[in-house]
């Protein structure tokens, strides 16, 4: 037996025990070991039943994704499972932790599955742009029904043991030691002579399935999927259970799986998977730096962001005091939070009991004094420097020593904010995204004087909140909004040069963004950036004209589009077309047609260019950090891997040449290719080569 799998047996029960820390990934040696163990158990006449279990914190948590893209080494997982399906002795999987992906599929080679109560089971392959490749799409529907399997495989989200028991994925929940529980279950199965049916032999739920309902659910998912190859393949494969014998279905599944693994989309998604983990390695922040303990928090401002941030904290079990300027504003903020929880309960994503528990962690106050008790204070007041400075100098006087003081500013200089305190080492930015209780991205803005410990604390809190924290440096708009500003500028430019809002948005949603940039502006409110421009003394002809007419976006029912009362659906508005044409005329621009491809290039390439500057300035530590920010915070299609990954695919030389043309046409030197982009293009390299150099350094 190989080192990472042992075969133990005393009496009639054999245990095939996997031990491949940290998560018992199904690397080649493990697959081989399990097969070997099962063979021995099958051949040994003394062995009457087998338990498949894993040591450490979890049952096998999936494939070893470092093996992806390499030639498969036999036995592949499906071969192990197929062998297990020939066994005529009861095999019980003893599950704990997170049996996911291949880790769950291997249990489909067993006739029985038992799990400890905290177990989470799922097939998350879709999140890497692939589908289960060892029978998951054919065998899960046979256990839990087609519709449940569709929702599990297409969401990729795991389900808790309790649900798994209800839907038939497991046979029993074991309190206490799961291995002992599985052994006891095996003995009972023997004693009761339970029928030994592998999932492949169980067709009753397929026969009962409602094909029409399946198709309805599938087309709803397809509509939302932004043309992801894996979504289409998963649906196609699950649909095969209706028509094909199980082995034929598995053969087709494998073909689809291999095609996806070799495809561009999955490559991009696997890149993002690793990029997200890479982002947690912070230059200059050693493992010895320990985060401070955060037992309680205060959030200043209960508006859009303060409310969402408070919910995120409360959801993660951290008691929060929300501070506002008046009882009225406080009540408004808390009412919104309470409504949001009620909506979750109504939708079934939260139980009433859990919602009550979370809401009970929130306290409202109208005096800043109460912030003195908090380990972490997050400021989310209006985006005005004077106000932020006022709040931070007050906090400096009252916050307890060692408290972390964070600002949620979108654009402002975190160093200036820190400078009004006598403890700039405790100050940093925690830039959440709206809605803050939902969006995964957290830009952690490291000020010049932010201490490593404080940085580590913000990252630890971010992780506790289920966020994806990415450390960035101080500059106007940090990484995400600074690049976004380039896209907005470019959108205004193509409108002036001939495109209409619906064309711009269709091009960008066609590229894979969930929403076009102009519909997005309508949602966020056009007045915010208008106020900003007025303060800076700049003008953006079309957007400013819309605002001057009181068209602030969804909140006024009109913006780049018009909206029917109570609806969020943007409807193209001929009035806007007129405004745009007039603006072009006023500025002496000749209007022409743009193809979708041209629109995408004109909007995305300037963003990439700004990304290159950001890298050059060290505002982001690596190109992959920028990609994580855009995928998690701004809806950049994950299957394109983020703007910098996409740039490498599109070719930096081609982007450089286009940027030169854009710069010349617009007479705008900020569109000239950035020095780093020029250098990489000349070397024939890409942004990925920077990631590699950093990794090697």
Nearest CB to ligand NAD, comparing residues 323 and 677: 323
Q: Specify the pairing of strand 49-54 against strand 120-121.
A: unpaired
**What is the smallest separation between the CB atom of 439 and ligand NAD, expressed in angstroms?**
9
Contact letters for ligand NAD, residues 267-306 (x by CB under 6 A): ---------------------------------xxxxxxx
Q: Nearest distance from residue 165's CB to ligand NAD, in Å?
A: 41
Stretch that binds ligand NAD, among 70-78, 82-90, 382-390, 572-580 (CB under 6 A): 382-390
d(CA 40, CA 281): 44
Task: Return the SS3 of 442.
Answer: strand
Residues 225-254 binding ligand NAD (CB under 6 A) are none
Q: How big, in percent rounded to 5, are the helix, strand and coil portions of the chain? A: 55, 10, 35
Between 100 and 628, name the residue whose CB sits nearer to ligand NAD: 628
**Residues acting as catalytic residues:** 105, 125
What distances in angstroms separate CA 308 from CA 120, 362, 380, 466, 634, one per listed residue? Answer: 27, 12, 10, 14, 17
CB-based closest residue to ligand NAD: 303
Assigned token pair, 549: 């007419």
Binding residue (CB under 6 A) for ligand NAD from 381, 475, 499, 629: 381
The residue from 409, 451, 540, 624 that contacts ligand NAD (CB under 6 A) is 409
Query: Residue 173: beta bridge partners?
Result: 115
Helix (H/G/I), strand (E/B), else coil: 282? coil
Interface with ligand NAD: number of residues (CB under 6 A): 23
Minimum CB separation of residue 371 from ligand NAD in Å reads 10
Question: Which 309-328 positions form the footprint of ligand NAD (CB under 6 A)?
Answer: 323-325
Q: Rule CB under 6 A: say whether 380 interacts with ligand NAD.
A: yes
Q: Figure out which of the listed residues 266, 321, 344, 410 binds ligand NAD, where binding follows CB under 6 A.
A: 410
Contacts of 292 (CB under 8 A, 6+ apart): 375, 402, 404, 453, 454, 457
Question: What is the C-alpha to C-alpha distance for residues 552 and 560, in angstroms, rounded to an integer?
Answer: 9
CB of 437 to ligand NAD, least distance (A): 12
Binding segment for ligand NAD (CB under 6 A), chosen from 236-244, 432-440, 449-457, 635-643, is 432-440
Write down the least CB distance from residue 330 to ligand NAD, Å: 9
β-bridge mates for residue 378, sequence order: 299, 406
Question: Is position 484 an interface residue for ligand NAD (rule: CB under 6 A)?
Answer: no
Of 620, 625, 358, 324, which is closest to residue 465 (Cα–Cα)?
358
CB nearer ligand NAD, residue 59 or residue 392: 392
Nearer to ligand NAD, 445 or 454 (CB): 445
Burial status of residue 75 (CB atoms within 10 A of its CB: 0-12, 13-18, 19 or more) = middle
The nearer residue to ligand NAD, 151 or 529, going by C-beta atoms, is: 529
Alpha helix positions (H), 225-303: 229-243, 246-262, 264-278
- Least distance in angstroms from the C-beta of 387 to ligand NAD: 6
What DSSP letter does each residue of 394-422 carry, written as one string?
HHHHHSPTT-EEEE--SSS-HHHHHHTSS
β 427-432/441-445 pair status:
antiparallel
**Interface contacts to ligand NAD, rule CB under 6 A:** 300-306, 323-325, 329, 380-383, 387, 391, 408-410, 432-434
């Amino acid at each position: 037996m190989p080192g990472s799998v042992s075969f133990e047996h005393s009496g009639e029960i054999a245990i095939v025990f996997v031990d491949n820390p940290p998560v018992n990934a199904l690397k080649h040696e493990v697959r081989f070991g399990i097969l070997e163990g099962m063979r021995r158990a099958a051949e040994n006449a003394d062995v009457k039943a087998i338990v498949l279990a894993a040591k450490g914190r979890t049952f096998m948590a999936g494939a070893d994704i470092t093996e992806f893209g390499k030639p498969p080494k036999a036995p592949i997982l499906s071969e192990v499972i197929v062998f297990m399906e020939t066994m005529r002795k009861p095999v019980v999987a003893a599950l704990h932790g997170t049996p996911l992906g291949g880790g769950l599929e291997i249990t489909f080679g067993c006739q029985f599955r038992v799990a400890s109560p905290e177990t989470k089971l799922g097939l998350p392959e879709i999140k890497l742009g692939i589908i289960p490749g060892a029978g998951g799409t054919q065998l899960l529907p046979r256990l839990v029904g087609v519709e449940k399997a569709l929702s599990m495989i297409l969401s990729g989200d795991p389900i808790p043991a309790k649900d798994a028991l209800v839907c038939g994925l497991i046979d029993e929940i074991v309190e206490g030691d799961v291995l002992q529980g599985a052994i006891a279950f095996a003995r009972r199965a023997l004693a009761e002579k339970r029928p030994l049916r592998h999932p492949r032999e169980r067709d009753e739920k397929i026969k009962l399935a409602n094909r029409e309902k399946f198709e309805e659910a599938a087309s709803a998912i397809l509509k939302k999927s932004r043309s992801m190859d894996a979504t289409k393949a998963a649906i196609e494969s699950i649909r095969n259970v209706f028509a094909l014998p199980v082995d034929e279905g598995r053969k087709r599944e494998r073909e689809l799986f291999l095609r996806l693994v070799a495809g561009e989309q999955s490559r991009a998604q696997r890149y993002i998977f690793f990029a997200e983990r890479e982002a947690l390695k912070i230059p200059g922040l050693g493992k010895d730096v320990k985060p401070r303990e955060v037992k309680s928090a205060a959030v200043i401002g209960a508006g859009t962001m303060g409310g969402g941030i408070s919910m995120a904290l409360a959801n993660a079990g951290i008691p929060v005091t929300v501070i506002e300027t008046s009882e009225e504003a406080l009540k408004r903020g808390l009412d919104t939070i309470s409504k949001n929880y009620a909506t979750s309960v109504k939708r079934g994503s939260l139980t009433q009991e859990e919602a009550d528990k979370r809401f009970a962690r929130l306290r409202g106050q109208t005096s800043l004094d109460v912030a003195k008790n908090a380990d972490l204070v997050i400021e989310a007041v209006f985006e005005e420097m004077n106000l932020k400075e006022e709040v931070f100098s007050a906090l400096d006087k009252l916050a307890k020593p060692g408290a972390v003081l964070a600002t949620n500013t979108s654009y402002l200089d975190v160093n200036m904010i820190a400078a009004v305190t006598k403890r700039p080492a405790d100050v940093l930015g925690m830039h959440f995204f709206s809605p803050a209780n939902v969006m995964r991205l957290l830009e952690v803005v490291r000020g010049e004087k932010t201490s490593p410990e404080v940085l580590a604390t913000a990252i630890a809190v971010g992780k506790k909140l289920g966020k994806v924290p990415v450390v960035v440096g101080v500059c106007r708009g940090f990484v995400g909004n600074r690049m976004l500003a380039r896209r907005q500028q470019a959108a205004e430019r193509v409108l002036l040069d001939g495109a209409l809002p619906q064309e711009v948005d269709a091009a960008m949603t066609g590229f894979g963004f969930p929403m076009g940039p102009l519909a997005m502006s309508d949602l966020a409110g056009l007045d915010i950036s208008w106020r900003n421009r007025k303060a800076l003394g700049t003008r953006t002809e079309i957007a400013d004209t819309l605002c001057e007419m009181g068209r602030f976006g969804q909140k006024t029912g009109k913006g780049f589009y018009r909206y029917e009362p109570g609806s969020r659906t943007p409807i193209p508005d001929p009035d806007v077309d007129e405004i745009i044409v007039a603006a072009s005329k006023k500025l002496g621009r000749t209007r022409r047609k743009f193809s979708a491809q041209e629109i995408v290039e004109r909007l995305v390439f300037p963003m990439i260019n700004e990304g290159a500057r950001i890298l050059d300035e060290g505002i982001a530590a690596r190109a992959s950090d920028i990609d994580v920010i855009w995928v998690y915070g701004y809806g950049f299609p994950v299957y394109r891997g983020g703007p910098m990954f996409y740039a490498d695919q599109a070719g930096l030389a081609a982007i450089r040449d286009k940027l030169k043309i854009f710069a010349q046409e617009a007479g705008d030197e900020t569109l000239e290719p950035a020095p780093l982009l020029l250098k990489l293009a000349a070397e024939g390299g890409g942004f990925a080569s920077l990631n590699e150099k950093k990794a090697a350094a």
